[in-house]
Amino acid sequence: MKLRSTRGGPAVSLETALVKGLAPDGGLYVPESLPSFTPDDFGDVAARAVAIQYLTPFFAGTRLADAIAAIVDETFSFPLPLVDLSAQVSAPLHVLELFHGPTAAFKDVGARFLAACLSRLDAEVDDPRPLTILVATSGDTGGAVAAAFHGRPGIDVVVLFPEGRVSPRQQHQLCCWGDNVTSLSVAGGFDDCQALVKAAFTDPTLSTQYGCSSAFCINIGRLLPQSVYYAVASIQYCRKHGERLSFAIPTGNLGNALAAVLARAAGLPIGDILLVTNANRTVPDYFATGHYEGRASIATLASAMDVGDPSNMERLRDLFGEAQALRELGLDAVSVDDTEIREQIRRDAARFDFAWCPHSATAMYAWERHLDDAARSAPWAVVATAHPAKFETIVEPLIGDSVPVPPALADLLDRPATFSRITPSLDALAEALP
């Protein structure tokens, strides 16, 4: 399958889009066309079989086509369960838990897929310079990418995170690697980190010296495997209950939600898709007014979603049109603020003996408070994007109890951590690069 830039220019192969990340014209790569499945096409609905079948058309004609099964096995090496909450809430509600990977957030899926693909392509890229992956992170992406690429020969990772805007355990996960991973604390917000990564790409000196760097957060290699868990959950649900499953998705840069929209457009039995932001209201305001206006991000409890100008909006609008057309596709967007996040975490700990991370709590709040009874009588899955133990400084005081740390996270917290501080300028970044 070929991909094109959202800003025009010639189509490129999947290999090029994976290695380059961003198109030379500054646009984002999108598939030229999408596969067209029907639920009946999936004979075997086991997760591995659905993953391979869903990804096959995207890999057709690429050098990775023969490696799909191996790439799927390396990526999906942990469970992504759809947990039934119906009895507790007296409505057909499930939780899609995406936090059982090595760094306890859904970013592990995209990071591991990209590492599996790039480590196979790097040997073939006709360029002796090491591949440098620059990652701007609002907290979880950087740790997932560092974990996925740590120790891979010929690939360097540079993680940029906003100083003081990530949780202590997130920061530890960003900084506990060493070797081929460099961790930089940037005096600014996530948007400054993201702008710095984009600027590094177009800077003549840096892009010559470091060659084919790749900006992870906007890489198409994040979207493809994220669509897989929506494909698996919806097809398994449909096979069992004969109904489409709708999703409420905690949203920042819109990479997770766009993956669901892609899976739906490719014919998977997905119903409505509710984009749930924190107090950064850019996307809900766009759905309400039809007028898109990116802005500076504000800090919230769901810090991995503190994005004021989501990069994947460019892909969403390019592929599927403007607000009115997006509504007709079953999309809508709502905002949930910090008071509501706190309220949901407290209430559900008392009701179900169950802790949400602050990001996942936004989606549960939206399902409960923004949908009417008719909407809630249809099957929904609230998407849980991170484990609450990553945000224990927020969650534990609210629930008045400790949150057990999953073993993989405990291992990382035992490693020593170091990082350097930089100002948000290209000169400072250039000096800090390996």
Ligand X SMILES: *Cc1c(COP(=O)(O)O)cnc(C)c1O
Q: Identify which range of 21-29, 68-76, 249-257, 366-374 contacts ligand X by CB under 6 A.
A: 249-257
305 contacts ligand X (rule: CB under 6 A)? yes
- Is the Cβ of residue 20 or residue 359 nearer to ligand X in the bound state? 359
107 contacts ligand X (rule: CB under 6 A)? yes
State the nearest-atom distance from the C-beta of 133 to ligand X, in Å. 17
- Amino acid at residue number 135: V
- Is the Cβ of residue 47 or residue 136 nearer to ligand X in the bound state? 136
105 contacts ligand X (rule: CB under 6 A)? yes
Count of residues interacting with ligand X (CB under 6 A): 17
197 contacts ligand X (rule: CB under 6 A)? no
Per the structure block, which two tokens stand in for 145? 């990418």
252 contacts ligand X (rule: CB under 6 A)? yes
- Amino acid at residue number 27: G
Phi, psi of 252 (to 5 degrees): -125, -85
251 contacts ligand X (rule: CB under 6 A)? yes
What residue ranges in 284-361 does DSSP mark as E strands?
Answer: 331-335
Strand 8-13 to 82-84 pairing: unpaired
162 contacts ligand X (rule: CB under 6 A)? no
CA–CA gap between residue 213 and residue 305 (Å, rounded) = 24
| Contact present, 138 and 386 (Cβ < 8 Å) | no
State the nearest-atom distance from the C-beta of 359 to ligand X, in Å. 3
- Using alpha carbons, select from 245, 257, 277 the residue that is nearest to residue 98: 257
- Is the Cβ of residue 105 or residue 212 nearer to ligand X in the bound state? 105
Beta partners for residue 273, in sequence order? 247, 331
Q: Which of 143, 188, 189, 250 binds ligand X (CB under 6 A)?
A: 250
225 contacts ligand X (rule: CB under 6 A)? no
CA–CA gap between residue 285 and residue 335 (Å, rounded) = 9
Quickly tell me which residue has 């500076």 as its tokens.
Answer: 296
At residue 56, the 3 state secondary structure works out as helix
At residue 30, the 3 state secondary structure works out as strand
State the nearest-atom distance from the C-beta of 111 to ligand X, in Å. 11
State the nearest-atom distance from the C-beta of 382 to ligand X, in Å. 12
State the nearest-atom distance from the C-beta of 385 to ligand X, in Å. 3
- Is the Cβ of residue 244 or residue 390 nearer to ligand X in the bound state? 390
Sign of the alpha-carbon torsion through 322, 324, 328, 330: positive
State the nearest-atom distance from the C-beta of 311 to ligand X, in Å. 9
Integer Rg of the chain from CA: 20
255 contacts ligand X (rule: CB under 6 A)? yes
State the nearest-atom distance from the C-beta of 203 to ligand X, in Å. 25
Strand 331-335 to 131-136 pairing: unpaired
Site for ligand X in 355-414 (CB under 6 A): 359, 385-386
142 contacts ligand X (rule: CB under 6 A)? no
State the nearest-atom distance from the C-beta of 251 to ligand X, in Å. 4
165 contacts ligand X (rule: CB under 6 A)? no
C-alpha distances in angstroms, 138 versus 170, 190, 298, 394? 10, 6, 12, 16
CA–CA gap between residue 404 and residue 37 (Å, rounded) = 41
Q: Identify which range of 14-22, 239-247, 248-256, 264-272 contacts ligand X by CB under 6 A.
A: 248-256
Contact residues for ligand X, defined by CB under 6 A: 105, 107, 140-141, 250-257, 304-305, 359, 385-386
